Structure 1
Amino acid sequence: MDPAPSSDVAIVTPWYPSRHRPFLGAFVRAMVQATSSGPHRTLVYHCDEWVGPYPPAVEAELIRAHHALLPRILRPQPVDGIAGLLRLPVPLALGLTYAEIAKRHADTVGAALGRGPIDAPVVHAHVGLPGGWAALRNARPDARLFVTEHATFLDAVLAQPEARRMYDELLHRCTGFFAVGRAVRDPLVEAFPHHAHRIAIIPNPVSFAAVRPAPVTDLRRWLFVGGLIARKGVLRLLEAFAQCRREDPTLTLTLVGEGPLLKELRARGAQLGVAEAVRYTGAVGPDEALRLMREHDLLVHPSQFETFGMTVVEAVAAGMPVLVTRCHGPEETLVGIGDATAEFVAVEDDPTSLAEGFRRLRGRFTAGLDLDAARRVLSGRYGYEAVAAAHHRAWFAGPETAATTAVTERGMEQPVA
């Protein structure tokens, strides 16, 4: 077995874009790209979940064989300008609890390293369970451990007693803990008030490097980016699009993503008579998704809940306005610039309110929005440089900085009360 790979910073994550799932974990990749600038070497441990209906006897034997093979295939692959990416398959039977899943992640990382520690002085994990737990169980005793929480399923994790106990232990033992916004921090503080002083806010980073080739002149080409699932509000979106297209037959809609509602969306689009105006791209990589944003006029984001709403910020970075629900994250990320770039609508099933929101936004667009000003403001809040600087100060400064650093709506660091 080769020696365990070493790095200055190790990232432990359950999600990272791959050939088969190019968009899964795009926000983690953005974090890695933002923070890997500078002299330190970054190594990503991607615990890639392989879920299947494994019978208990077969699963036990599979895991034994899998753990025996892992140290022999531990070969970091250069990617994204970092020291390396390690893909670690994590076999998971259906129906495991969040605590069991987190322990399986931790065991997989440990087996891959031959039961030695992650050889890095700084370890940063994504989501408390499973990523944070896997990092906690495998970091060096002297390592500084940080966790970023952005999971939309956090409430389900905390509802399971064993997972909640593990989360409490993680908060107690990590060097620094970051939520991407108030929609994440507030429920954590409510669940663990004794750790409130340890839970800071550092948002997801978004690239503002690419420039739109031509400005938006009308809101005809609609775009949605995300999973084709109920929580994202895609059926409501299709109904609202059909209403608006009856008034303007030049409207088109591109749905970027995949999910279980694809077949239903296609069938309903045919019933509504808009099938020829709706394009389904399937899952695409982050770079392609951003390119499509620069080619469209309007992002429509009718989600029921978002911890941050990264695609909303990416759309503003791509120079387009957004029609978005008040689903927690976007109200925070766009605070102070809504009039310049966005129209907010309520979270509900009724497509009419979404269509009415489009009409209001189109009327305001004709009167004049200020997309360039909104883009400059968000670059200062969520651009790679601003977010990377906040992380670097925490990673390489004293523990008091790691525990209290936050990035506010102005992109400045302040203590979290």
Structure 2
Amino acid sequence: MSRTSARDVAIVTPWYPTRELPFRGAFVRAMTEATAPGCDQATVYHCDGWWSRLTSEQDAEIGEAQRLLLPQAQAVGQTVGGAGLRYVPVPMPGGLSFADIARRHEATLALALGGRPIDAPVVHAHVGLPSGWAALHHLRPDARFFVTEHATFLDRILAEPDGHAMYDQVLHRCDAFFAVGDGMRDLLVETFPHHADRISIVPNPISFEHPRPVPVTELRRWLFLGGLIPRKGVTWLLEAFAVCHADDPRLTLSLVGDGELSATLQARAAELGIADAVTFAGAVSPDEALRLMREHDLLVHPSRMETFGMTVVEALAAGMPVLVTRCGGPEETLAGIEDAAGELVAVEESPDSIVAGYRRLRSRFPDGLDLELAQRTLDDRYGYPAVARAHHRVWFPEENSAADAEGGLAPATPEGAR
């Protein structure tokens, strides 16, 4: 075992931005960027599922090739905050249960580690399955173990008997377990009441370090950031935009992201006669997404369900008001500043609530909003320093006990999170 500092941290995750998928795992990247500077060393283990349709024979052949090659191909790159990055491809045939996916992650991480434990005294996994399960089986005996849960499909994992049982084991071993919102914590506490005392909330970190150069003066340039999939409500967004565009032909809509509905949405935009006003930008890097936020006037986020709604807070950090559905996370993150930040509308299987919400927002813009108040409030709740303090306090308790005695640390949970 190599010599490590008490402030060395390993982060195990199934999602992290790549060149091909720059949006996936943006939250994990942000958490790394926020917390890594306070560590002596931080290393991200990105266990990336490679999905394909394989016969059992092909799967076995790939598994054998990986067993031989993966231990020789483990280089440590660099990522945000000065952290290291180890990329671990995990071959995935179709049709696996969540439990089987987790077992694949566990076995592949073992190959990448060469049979040795993760050499860090603090291990933080993102999502209980698969990464919490994978990390659980590769801890040093003295390691402190933490998990952050932010998977939107958590209910489906817990509905599987094996997934439920494996999740229970992860919770049992955790020193602390974090959910990113009330709804997710409530589900976990209801499912595992015997672990309620170790499940708390620490929200997603958002950077407020890049102010908008020119304030928004009108709500003409709409922006959507996310997957072009049914859960994100993009079908109703396009229909709502067509109605509002008929009222004001100067309106434009940029759809940033990829997904199964991309071709359908493009065809529908042509049918509605708004193709010239709608831009399909595809997936972009986080830096490009930030640039687009600073160049548009309004984020429209019509999701059916979110555990947090990171994009909503990012848009406000970039100085842009928001029109967002009450889909779980956003009403928590914007609690107390809804009117200052923009407009929250009901989740409806029609464009009506989006259209009505836009008209209300437009009628009270700009005097009915207070974006500076929204930014200050959200920075206190979800800014990098607040979330980093929350993590470091639990990761390094011995050092924090001494600082507490001197009044040197903020509370473990950022203001506004419960």
Cα deviation for residue 409 of structure 1 reads 5.0
Determine the structure 2 residue equivalent to 1:336.
Answer: 336
Task: Look up the SS of the partner of 1:88 in the other structure.
Answer: strand
Residues 173-207 of structure 1: CA distance to partner in whole angstroms, max 9, x if unpaired? 11110000112101111111111111010000001
Q: Is the 8 A contact 2:36 2:83 kept in 1?
A: no
Aligned pairs for 1:138-177 within 5 A: 138-177=138-177
> Which residue does the alignment assign to 1:251?
251
Structure 1 stretches of 4+ with a deviation exceeding 2 A read: 3-7, 398-401, 405-411
> 1:4 Cα deviation (Å)?
8.5
**What is the deviation of 1:348?**
1.2
For 1:36 and 1:49, the matched residues in 2 are separated by: 24
CA separation in 2, counterparts of 1:329 and 1:314? 14
What are the superposed Cα offsets for residues 126-149 of structure 1, whole Å, 9 maximum, x if unpaired?
A: 000001011101111111010000
Deviation at 1:385, TM superposition (A): 0.3
Tell me what 1:378 maps to: 378
In structure 2, runs of 5+ residues without a counterpart are: 402-410
What is the distance in 1 between the residues matched to 2:352 and 2:317?
28
Matches within 5 A, 1:5-20: 8-20=8-20
194-203 vs 38-47, which moves further: 38-47
* Matched residue type, 1:171: L
Give the residue type in structure 1 aligned to 2:293.
Answer: M
1:42 corresponds to 2:28: no
Contact 2:116-2:138 within 8 A present in 1 as well: yes
State the Cα distance separating 1:28 from its structure 2 match: 0.6
Paired residues of 1:127 and 1:151 also in contact (CA < 8 A): yes
Listed as ranges, the matches of 1:362-377 within 5 Å are 362-377=362-377
Structure 1 window deviating more from structure 2 (295-304 vs 66-75): it is 66-75
Query: Structure 1 stretch 73-82 or stretch 120-129: which is displaced more?
Result: 73-82
Give the aligned CA root-mean-square deviation in angstroms: 1.8
Shift of 1:364: 1.4
Query: Structure 2-normalised TM-score?
Result: 0.94
Name 1:120's counterpart in structure 2. Answer: 120
- Find the aligned partners of 1:400 and 1:33 in 2 and give their Cα distance: 21
Paired residues of 2:71 and 2:111 also in contact (CA < 8 A):
yes
Q: Is the 8 A contact 1:200 1:406 kept in 2?
A: no
* Residue 6 (structure 1) shift: 6.6
Contact 1:219-1:298 within 8 A present in 2 as well: yes
SS of the equivalent of 1:365 reads coil
Alpha-carbon separation, structure 2, partners of 1:73 and 1:109: 13
Aligned pairs, number: 407
1:258 alignment partner, SS class:
coil
Q: Which residue of 2 aligns with 1:203?
A: 203
CA shift in 2, pair 1:305/1:147, >3 Å: same
What SS class does the counterpart of residue 148 from structure 1 fall into? strand
* Matched residue, 1:410: 416
Structure 2 matches for 1:15-164, cutoff 5 A? 15-164=15-164
Q: Deviations over 1:321-358 (max 9, x none)?
A: 11010101000000000010121111111102210100
Amino acid corresponding to residue 332 of structure 1 in structure 2: E
Greater mean deviation of Cα atoms: 4-13 or 303-312:
4-13
Return the letter of the residue paired with 1:338.
E
Q: CA deviation at 1:406?
A: 6.0
2: CA distance, partners of 1:400 / 1:385: 16
Distance 1:399 1:182, change over 3 A: farther
- 3-state SS of paired residue (1:138): coil
Do structure 1's residue 278 and structure 2's residue 278 form an aligned pair? yes
Whole-Å separation in 1 of the counterparts to 2:3 and 2:28? 21
Match of residue 239 from structure 1? 239
Tell me, what secondary structure is at the counterpart of 2:37?
coil
For the residues of structure 1 that align with 2:207 and 2:12, how far apart are their CA atoms? 22
Following the alignment from structure 2 to structure 1, what is the Cα–Cα distance between the partners of residues 150 and 172?
A: 19
**CA displacement at 1:118 relative to structure 2:** 0.5
Q: For the residues of structure 1 that align with 2:3 and 2:164, how far apart are their CA atoms?
A: 32
Q: TM-score, normalised by structure 1?
A: 0.95
In the other structure, the counterpart of 2:407 is none
Which stretch shows the higher mean deviation, 231-240 or 50-59? 50-59
Q: 1:83 to 1:312 in 2, by over 3 A?
A: closer
Change (3 A) 1:312 1:377: same
CA gap 1:365/1:5 in 2 versus in 1, 3 angstroms: farther
SS of 1:284's partner is coil
- SS of structure 1 residue aligned to 2:196: helix
- Percent identical residues: 62
Aligned equivalents of 2:89 and 2:394: distance in 1? 30
* Structure 1 gap ranges (5+): none
Shift in alpha-carbon separation, 1:295–1:26, aligned structure 2, 3 A: same
Instruction: Name the aligned partner's letter for residue 372 of structure 2.
Output: D
Contact 1:176 1:399 in 2 (8 A): no
Q: Which residue number corresponds to residue 354 of structure 2?
A: 354
Q: Distance in 1 between matches of 2:231 and 2:320?
A: 23
Distance in 1 between residues matched to 2:232 and 2:190, nearest whole Å: 26
Deviation at 1:162, TM superposition (A): 0.2
Give the superposition deviation at 1:410.
2.9
Shift of 1:309: 0.2
